[in-house]
Structure 1
Amino acid sequence: MKHLLALRDAHWEGWQRLLGHPFLRRLAAGEVSERGVYAWMAHNYRFVEGLLEFQAHLVPRAPRAHRLVLAHGLVGIVEDLDWMAVQPIDLDVPAHPAHERYLAFLRLLEQEPYTVEIVSLWMIYRAFHDAWSSAAPQGGLFVDLVEHWAAPEFQAYLHDLAEVAEEAWLVASEEERARIHALIEEILRLEWGGWDMANALAERYS
Structure 2
Amino acid sequence: MTLTCKDLVTIHAEAWERATVHPFLTGCQRGTITAAQFNTWLVQDYLFVKDFTRMVGKMLGAAPDHHLDVLLAGLMALKDELLWFQAKAEERGLKLEAPRQSTCSHYCDFMAGLVLEPYPVQATALWAIEAAYNQGWQKPGPMPAPYTEFADRWGNPGFTDYVKLLATQADEVLTQASDHTQALASTTFLRIANLETAFWQMAFVA
TM-score if structure 1 supplies the norm length? 0.89
Question: Helix, strand or coil: the match of 2:147?
Answer: helix
Is the contact made by 1:15 and 1:188 (CA closer than 8 Å) also made in structure 2? yes
Q: What's 1:139 paired with?
A: 144
Q: Once the two structures are superposed, what CA deviation does each residue of 1:26-82 show, in whole Å capped at 9, x if it has no partner?
A: 223210133432331111000000000000000121000001110001001111111
Distance 2:14 2:119 in 1: 27
Q: What's 2:26 paired with?
A: 25
1:93 and 2:94 are equivalent in the alignment: no
Count of residue pairs brought into register by the alignment: 200
Q: What's 1:5 paired with?
A: 6
Q: What's 1:193 paired with?
A: 198
- RMSD of the alignment, in Å? 1.8
Percent of aligned pairs with the same residue?
Answer: 28
Is the contact made by 2:24 and 2:203 (CA closer than 8 Å) also made in structure 1? yes
Instruction: Give, in angstroms, the shift of residue 196 of structure 1.
Output: 1.3
Counterparts of 1:106-185 in structure 2 under 5 Å? 106-135=111-140, 137-185=142-190
Is the contact made by 2:29 and 2:144 (CA closer than 8 Å) also made in structure 1? no
Give structure 2 stretches of 5+ with no counterpart. none
Give structure 1 stretches of 5+ with no counterpart. 202-206
Distance 1:74 1:56 in 2: 7
Distance 1:91 1:136, change over 3 A: farther
Letter in 2 for 1:167: E
Is the contact made by 2:22 and 2:197 (CA closer than 8 Å) also made in structure 1? yes
> Greater shift after overlay, 45-54 or 89-98?
89-98
Is the contact made by 2:44 and 2:100 (CA closer than 8 Å) also made in structure 1? yes
Q: What's 1:78 paired with?
A: 79
TM-score if structure 2 supplies the norm length? 0.89
Q: What's 1:56 paired with?
A: 57
Question: Helix, strand or coil: the match of 2:155?
Answer: coil
Q: Once the two structures are superposed, what CA deviation does each residue of 1:58-109 show, in whole Å capped at 9, x if it has no partner?
A: 0121000001110001001111111111113321111111010001101111
> Greater shift after overlay, 156-165 or 65-74?
156-165
Q: What's 2:41 paired with?
A: 40
Letter in 1 for 2:79: V
Distance 1:152 1:164 in 2: 19
Is the contact made by 1:30 and 1:137 (CA closer than 8 Å) also made in structure 2? no
1:69 and 2:70 are equivalent in the alignment: yes
Q: Once the two structures are superposed, what CA deviation does each residue of 1:118-148 show, in whole Å capped at 9, x if it has no partner?
A: 1121111112222222236523222222222
Letter in 1 for 2:84: W
> Greater shift after overlay, 77-86 or 36-45?
36-45
Distance 2:101 2:30 in 1: 25
Is the contact made by 2:5 and 2:167 (CA closer than 8 Å) also made in structure 1? yes
Letter in 2 for 1:31: T
